[in-house]
Amino acid sequence: MEVLRDPATCPRPDQGTAVTIGAFDGVHRGHRTVIGALQQRAAEEGLRTAVVTFDRHPASVVRPESAPLLLTDLDQKLELLADCGLDYTLVIRFDEERSQEPAADFVEQVLSSCLNAKLVAVGEDFHFGHGRSGNVALLREMGAELGFEVIGHELVDAAGHPADGEPVSSTRIRRALHDGDLAAANEMLGRPHEVRGVVDHGDKRARELGFRTANLDVPTTTCLPADGIYAGWYVTPDGVRHPTAISLGKRPTFYERADASLLEAHLIDFDGDLYGQPARVQFVERLRDELKFDSVEALIEQMGRDVEQSRSILA
């Protein structure tokens, strides 16, 4: 997949492109359903495939006070889109100027002039442009003039079928993570929820507890699951996955009140120095809530059980 970052220097393929547009936060099953349908039509009609997305979530510019936490950072989003087998992803810088752009200008400059769109596929609830004035109806109106067809896809459930109830969405996945329903979030994502960070020094209790942990400094813009204990995978920079027992929370056995949750990953049967390294932690299954124990000894016993349960789940 070729990543494009400037609409003014697009390759504008002569044969035209089949395009879809969106924030694509999470690149979840709903997104991939649209991409899959786009690729099928592109293959039938001899078109290249392209996704148009943004370098940040548009809400972080338009309404920063209520912008959502991110399921994927830009790098992860591009990796997931590349796995879909697309020809191009155009990453548009979304700033204050872009937020004021009329929807019609976006269509002319990005879809027509830049990508030579012949087919545009979006969810039926898609909106874009200043004041969210652009929608499927506007795309169809302009497509008739500029020479592209528009498909407004039905929204889908976690299995990729037309949704009878609430469809898969990034908002719904965030809500499931917030509520501690990791299984539902992972089903909608189509994979374990992953967060990324850099290993930092913690409060050095490994000797006291007998369990070494990698403490991840995670960007404050990242959507974390609810506090609790999880089984998952820790992925090192070289791509090696290690079975891991994950603690996410405020450590109530040691602190009456902590300002923020700490993500601690105990790599099972691993001994190595991870400080300062980037890491990816994938949440596979929620084991239990975070608890306050009456003694350090009781906490250690429970940690041992958590590690063995994680080992069994990930075996």
pLDDT tens string 83-126: 999 999 999 999 999 999 999 999 999 999 999 999 999 988 88
% of the chain residues with pLDDT over 90: 76
Which residue reads 């338009």 in tokens? 62
> In the chain, what are the domains?
2-171 (3.40.50.620), 195-314 (2.40.30.30)
Tokens of 92: 């548009």
Mapped onto helix, strand or coil, the DSSP state of residue 241 is strand
Average pLDDT rounded to a whole number, residues 171-188: 97
Note the pLDDT of residue 258: 67
Chain-wide mean pLDDT for the chain? 92
Q: Residue 205: pLDDT above 70?
A: no
CA distances from 235 to 12, 232, 286, 310 (A): 37, 10, 18, 16
Q: Does residue 131 carry a pLDDT above 70?
A: yes
> Does the pLDDT at position 61 exceed 60?
yes
> Residue 160 has what pLDDT?
64
Which tens digits make up the pLDDT trace of 215-261?
999 999 999 999 999 999 999 999 999 999 999 998 766 666 667 88
Give, rounded to a whole angstrom, the gap between the first and last alpha carbons of the chain.
34
Q: Is 296 helix (H, G, I), strand (E, B) or coil?
A: helix
